[in-house]
Amino acid sequence: MKTKIFNQISKACIILMLAVFSSSAFATTIVSTNGTWTITPDGRGIKISFKADSTHVTCAKIGLIQTVKITLYDAAGNGTVVNPADLSPHFAHLGDDTVGGTVVDHLWCEKDGEYNGDDNPQDKPNKQGSSGAGAATTSSDMKDYPYIGNGILRKAGKSRVVMEFEVCAVCMTPPVTTYDCIKWKYERDTTANDDGSSSLVSVAPAAETPAHAAAVAKFSTNHTAAGVAICPEEQALINSFSKLYDLLGPLWFKANQPFEVISAGGRVKKGPAAPTSSLPVAPIGTAVAPTDYVFVPSGDRICLRRTGIIPSTDPQIPFVASFSDLYFGSQESVETGVASSFQHTGIRVKNCSGTTLCAAAPVSSTNTMGHVMFTAKINNTTQQVTFKNNSLSTHAITCKDVLHNLSVATLNPGDSLVYSFPGQVPSCVSTLNLKLFIQGYMNGSGGSMGPVLYNQGQEAKVGECDSIDVQLRAPYSPFQVMQSTRAVLRQDGTASCTFSPTNQQYFIAVKHRNAVETWSANPIQLQLGTVLYDFSNAASKAFGANQIAVAPGVWAFYSGDISQDQSIDLLDMPIYEAAVNSFTYGYSPSDLNGDGSVDLLDYPLLEANINNFIFSNQPN
Amino acid sequence: MKKLITMLMLFGCLTMSSFMTSPFATIVSGVPLDYASYQVKITYTGEQLKAAPSLLLTGSGRVANKDEFIPYRSANVRYSNDDAGVFEISLSGTTIKKFVDALALRPELCTSGGRTQPVLSLMIERNVAPAEIVFEHLADMVEAHTILNLLEGAIATEPSITKTNVRRFRNYTIGHH
């Protein structure tokens, strides 16, 4: 329980209520009920000392808590109190601790609010004092050299800055007690030499102000968790120990620290609760035991970041993340080492059959936080892989072509290397073979569709029906389009869709120019190689069972969404009617039966589906 | 009297000359063992509210003494944080050599003097007989990050606590920007 003792600072005891300083002023002494303050201008700063009166004060650790309020003035003399965090990135850590413009003056990652507290080195060499109860009476000392440069003032359109400081002596040991306070003021304007020179304007004794008390309370709230003093900035560090990765192809990873993966869709998957040196390496989307990590991305980019508090005692604890297995045929690149805590632990470049073509050896290195340390990129056209070393360490790279010719190279800091495998890397794709029918295009037998493109006067090969657009949608909200392709739909309902290599689960969404958009009932696992999905053998193969039976055991997508608004309704009718009235023939979405002309033969199908309120069924 | 004044002025010039910082090349030593007697001081000189202790990296073959840099201070630069205190770290000569070698590859950091409104002062003292030589570069924010990058690279093989302390200095001066 914090108590305040403003022991009615005895006016009689105050030798000097207000002193006006200049840089050449001598020390000023202020005697108050609980001790004696000594304030000494020190070059461009100030030295403040408080020596408690041992007849009044018993405390083993006496600290000094300083708050500051910054006011900027324009040329007309109008003042504005500002949050320090708004002035400079250097003060960013003060932003959340500021109350009404007043904040406890502290450096990054301090756990206590005392200027001369226990944070090391932030509070050093300022000295704590003691008093009474057999302890030697020693002074509490601090030095300060505040400075706001002309650059900041001019940027803010201001001409003068006034920093009002309030320093209170406190007993740091329970029960925390606030003793006497003083105020001092620093100011400078843009006419001063921008070398840090400033004016120490005044100093005066005071009882603790509400603003000081509020700032101290705010600091205490922000810097305490579960009763333990913390550095809140460490929490922010977690986010800096993270990195976005493109995820267009297979990606394997392991880590030696607890981690979490955030997909573009915002879905979070957490790693193990405790650090472990060896985690299982599993392909994305693979089912794993509950004790293992699991990761199913829902976006085309992922963010891997460390979880948990990074201890201030060792913020260098590495987060070793291993990213590997680039496959030719994808558009993928891999970047590693965004911070000194990230380490490049090896990249392998493989061909489609899984043979390693190049391997960059693991390296511990450093670079600027936020900068990419090491990259490997593939050019599928030239069948080249480029390694770039942005780190400060040498990387060893080994490549081997199909003839087993071995190339070993040393990649020095700042260097790039290109390896070519002309004609040696087979195309590597993920293929999705679909089977589906379009209701209006069905032949009478129910096992095939008509040659719609041919009927509509389009150039088409034998057996081709029409074209469809196939999307791979993320399996989680908001179900982004991860990849898409246009494929030929054959009369037998088959369509072969080629995608960049992937090893993930997706909803399959099929769009056709006059059929209602239809999604797979569930996410489908795609992989290197070929996967088959047959919509036509059960209504339930479509999301919401949104298909119509066109023959025994044969199901088709509903026809009639001419307006492509994902619903078959009265908005489709005017388009159809206009086409009929103009005797449209040829390639037209209003030709629902695909016979080459828009006429009354298309009407029954459209009318039935409008009456049945057919619309696209998709996961929400 | 006139002669005396002339002599005093000459003495002053010589004295000032000996206290001026030197070009980077003069602090590079061909003898690896020399680096154990080097000192490196990094001072935050930007805007601040609370004083931020400076970083004093001292070769393992000598005793730390920040005051040896005082005569070489540049005019109109705030070294107040040196007066607030220094954060001392002892390094092997090999590590200091790595840092100096890394700096040598960055010409923009090898100029004596530098920015007019610096956020960081980098001073390197070569204290090898017969002369004490000090180099200083005054860095802007970008250069300051580069300097600390190079330093972190140089100390990569030092104990964890050393790396932690350098990172801390970075965090409470420029690193968390």
Q: CB of A107 within 8 Å of any CB in chain B?
A: yes
Answer yes or no: do B78 and A233 touch at CB < 8 A: no
- The shares of helix, strand and coil residues in chain A, as percent rounded to the nearest 5, are 10, 40, 50
Percentage with pLDDT > 70 across chain A: 70
Is B153 within 8 Å of A366 (Cβ atoms)? yes
Pick from B86, B91, B94: which is nearest to B65 by CA? B86
- The one-letter amino acid at A176: V
Q: Which candidate from B49, B77, B102 shows the least CB-CB separation from A84?
A: B49
The pLDDT tens digits of the residues spanning A389-405 come to 776 677 788 887 766 67
What SS3 state is found at A13?
helix
| A125 at interface of B, judged by CB pairs closer than 8 A | yes
- Compute the nearest-CA separation of B99 from chain A (Å): 12
Residue B110 predicted with pLDDT over 80: yes
* 3-state class (DSSP) for residue A193: coil
Q: What are the residues whose beta carbons fall under 8 Å from the beta carbon of A237, sequence distance 6 or more?
A: A310, A315
A551: which strand partners?
Answer: A554
Cα–Cα distance for residue pair A415/A52, rounded to 1 Å: 62
A120 in contact with chain B, both atoms CB, cutoff 8 A: no
Q: Give the nearest partner residue to A108 out of B84, B164, B176, using CB atoms.
A: B176
| Residues of chain B found within 8 Å of residue A368, distances taken between Cβ atoms | 145, 149
Cβ-count burial of A320 within 10 angstroms (0-12 exposed, 13-18 middle, 19+ buried)?
A: middle
Rounded mean pLDDT, A13-35:
60
Amino acid at residue number A316: Q
- Of the ranges A79-93, A207-221, A300-314, B91-105, which one carries the lowest mean pLDDT score? A300-314
pLDDT reading at B15 higher than 90: no
Q: 39-68 in A: which are within 8 Å (CB) of B?
A: 42-45, 66, 68
The one-letter code for the residue type at A233 is E
SS3 for A429-494 is: CEEEEEECCEHHHECCCCCCECCHHHHCCCCCCCCEEEEEEEEEECCCCCCCEEEEEEEEEECCCE
Inter-chain residue contact A369 with B175, CB threshold 8 Å: yes
Q: State yes or no: pLDDT of A335 exceeds 80.
A: no
At A515-568, the pLDDT tens digits run 999 999 999 988 767 899 999 999 999 999 999 999 999 999 999 999 999 999
**Per-residue confidence at A352, pLDDT binned at 50, 70, 90?**
low
Interface test with B, best of A67, A102, A103, A108 (most B CBs within 10 A): A108
By Cβ distance, the residue of B75, B76, B87 closest to A121 is B87
Please give the residue of chain A at the shortest CA–CA distance from B74.
A195
Say if B140 is an interface residue toward chain A (CB within 8 Å).
no
From chain A residues 317-376, the ones with a CB under 8 A of any chain B CB are 340, 364-369
DSSP state of A111: S
Which of A145, A193, A236 faces B81 most closely, judged by CB atoms?
A: A145
CA distance A328 to A352: 7
Residue type, A227: G
Helix, strand, or coil (residue B33): helix
Cross-chain Cβ contact B81/A364 below 8 Å:
no
Q: Are strands A524-525 and A384-389 parallel, antiparallel or unpaired?
A: unpaired
Determine the Cα angle at B156 with ends B150 and B160, to 5°: 125
Residue B10 contacts by C-beta under 8 Å, 6 or more apart in sequence?
A: none
Query: Can you list the pairs that A608-611 forms with residues at least 24 positions away whose Cβ atoms lie under 8 Å?
Result: A609/A558, A609/A559, A609/A560, A609/A568, A610/A560, A610/A568, A610/A569, A610/A570, A610/A572, A610/A573
Residue A600: phi and psi, rounded to 5, are -70, -15
- Per CB-CB distance under 8 Å, the chain A contacts of B153 are 365-366, 392-393
pTM to 2 decimal places? 0.55
Q: Which of B50, B74, B88, B164 to mutate to test the interface with A (most CBs of A within 10 A)?
A: B50
Best A316, A342, A343, A364 residue to mutate vs chain B (most B CBs within 10 Å): A316
Query: Out of A20-34, A66-80, A243-257, which region has the weakest mean confidence (pLDDT)?
Result: A243-257
Q: Which position has the token pair 């093989």?
A: B157
Rounded to 10 degrees, the C-alpha dihedral A324/A328/A329/A334 comes to 40
**A166 touches A212 (CB < 8 A):** yes
Residue bearing tokens 């290397």 = A417
Cβ neighbours around A375 below 10 Å, total = 19
Q: Is the pLDDT of residue A4 over 80?
A: no
Q: Is B159 on the interface with A (CB under 8 A)?
A: no
pLDDT the model gives residue A249: 36
Please check the confidence at residue B33 and state whether its pLDDT lies above 70. Answer: yes
Q: Chain A: give the shortest CA distance to residue B129, in Å.
A: 32
Do residues A238 and A305 lie in contact, with contact meaning Cβ atoms separated by under 8 Å?
Answer: yes
Task: Report pLDDT for B172.
Answer: 82
Pair of tokens at residue B95: 């590590």
Which whole-number Å values give the CA distances from A320 to A256, A260, A304, A332, in the listed order?
6, 13, 11, 21
CB-CB neighbors (< 8 A) of B103 in chain A: none
Q: Is A316 in the B-facing interface, judged by CB distances under 8 Å?
A: yes
Contacts of B167 in chain A (CB under 8 A): 315-316, 340
Rounded to the nearest angstrom, the minimum Cα separation between B130 and chain A is 33
Mean pLDDT of A278-296: 35
Mutate to test the interface with A, among B42, B43, B44, B49 (most CBs of A within 10 A): B49
Dist CA A413 CA B102 (whole Å): 11
Query: Once rounded to an integer, what is the mean pLDDT over residues B139-158?
Result: 88
Judged by CB atoms closer than 8 Å, whether chains meet at A149 and B47 is answered as: yes
Q: Which helix (H) or strand (E) holds A388?
A: strand A384-389
Among A121-135, A466-480, A565-579, B51-65, which is the least confidently predicted range?
A121-135
Window A:255-314, CB contacts with B under 8 Å: 312-314
pLDDT at A259: 54
Chain A residues in contact with B76 by the CB 8 A cut-off are: 193-195
Q: Is the pLDDT confidence value at A256 over 60?
A: no
More confident residue, A193 or A173: A173
Please indicate if any CB of chain A lies within 8 Å of the CB of B145: yes
Q: For residue A396, which phi and psi values (nearest 5 degrees)?
A: -100, 135
pLDDT over 80 at A418, yes or no? yes
Angle at A430 between CA A425 and CA A434, to 5 degrees: 145
DSSP state at residue A599:
S
Scanning every residue of chain B, which has its alpha carbon at the shortest distance from the alpha carbon of A371?
Answer: B149
Q: How far apart are CA A273 and CA A75, in angstroms?
A: 57
Question: Is the CB of residue A162 less than 8 Å from the CB of residue A151?
Answer: no
Max distance between CA atoms of chain A, in angstroms, equals: 111
Structure tokens at A195: 């070398």
First to last CA, chain A: 51
